Amino acid sequence: MSRHRYGDTRLWVLERNLGGSRAGRLLEQLDQHFEQVSEHLLLDLRGASFIDSAGAEALERAALRHPGLAVVGFPRDYENLPRRTRASLKILRPADTLEKAFSSLNGKVQDSTPWRNRRRYCRIPATIPVDIIFGTRTAASTIHDVSLGGGRLGRLPSSWIREIRRDVDTPDMIIAGMDHDPLGREISHRFETTLLSSHPVHLLPGGAGLGIRFSEPPGAGHG
């Protein structure tokens, strides 16, 4: 199981099947988490292919004990699970995506808002190392405050900032490496590429960062 943090929310991603003694251990880990910290926790089930009745029961018990726990997705082999196990997992009302889960925690459930309005979606605090391609140049940076519409890049080379400030034929930036992070991977998947095209939209004071807008994915409508 891999563990990640986005602001005051933790994300645990199941990477193995959940059942038997492993289900009991997961319940213990969840109990310990909520005893030690008060942060929300998202549990992503999509990395598991199978959850047995013990695993489903452990998840139900954890959800009843800990209101700060939210579940994302179903295991890959969900349709082939026993009916009782499927019913138990449905009770958890898992979000379809990480994006929806984070938005729900902030009271802003995602809807069918047109792509041109994506910036209105709540930003998700993140710290995702990325590589930036700007024309023929490259640099390492970090992307923060991510949504489907864009995000905020950390510090960039001063020469890039001067060029963006002059706004003289500023090319789009290509962002690589977001797919190494669970949330970044989900966003990249929506755009059907691991190289996200983005455009600078706002310079933070003192060169402390750059707001960017992702280009629309293929076939996105504005209606």
Per residue in 109-131, pLDDT (tens digit) is 444 444 344 445 568 899 999 99
The yes or no reply on domain 2-105 and CATH 3.20.20.60 is no
Please tell me the pTM assigned to this model.
0.81
User: Which pLDDT does position 168 carry in this prediction?
Assistant: 58
pLDDT digits (tens, 9 = 90+) for 39-93: 789 999 999 988 999 999 999 999 999 989 999 999 998 999 999 999 999 999 9
Q: How far apart are CA 208 and CA 194, in angstroms?
A: 25
d(CA 63, CA 90): 12
**pLDDT mean across residues, the chain:** 85
Considering the chain, tell me which residue range(s) the CATH 2.40.10.220 domain(s) occupy. Answer: 118-214
Contact 161, 137 (CB under 8 A): no
The residues, ordered by sequence, that sit 6+ positions from 141 with a Cβ below 8 Å of its Cβ are: 129, 130, 131, 132, 153, 154, 155, 156
CATH 3.30.750.24 residue window(s) in the chain: 2-105
Chain centre distance of CA 36: 24
**Across the chain, how many H-helices and E-strands are there?**
6, 10
Report the CATH fold assignment for 118-214. Answer: Thrombin, subunit H (2.40.10)
Q: Is the pLDDT of residue 136 over 70?
A: yes
How far, in Å, are 56, 59, 74, 101, 122 from residue 50 at the CA level?
10, 13, 9, 22, 32
Question: 105-109, 163-167, 168-172 — which is least confidently predicted?
Answer: 105-109
Q: Are 182 and 11 in contact (CB under 8 A)?
A: yes
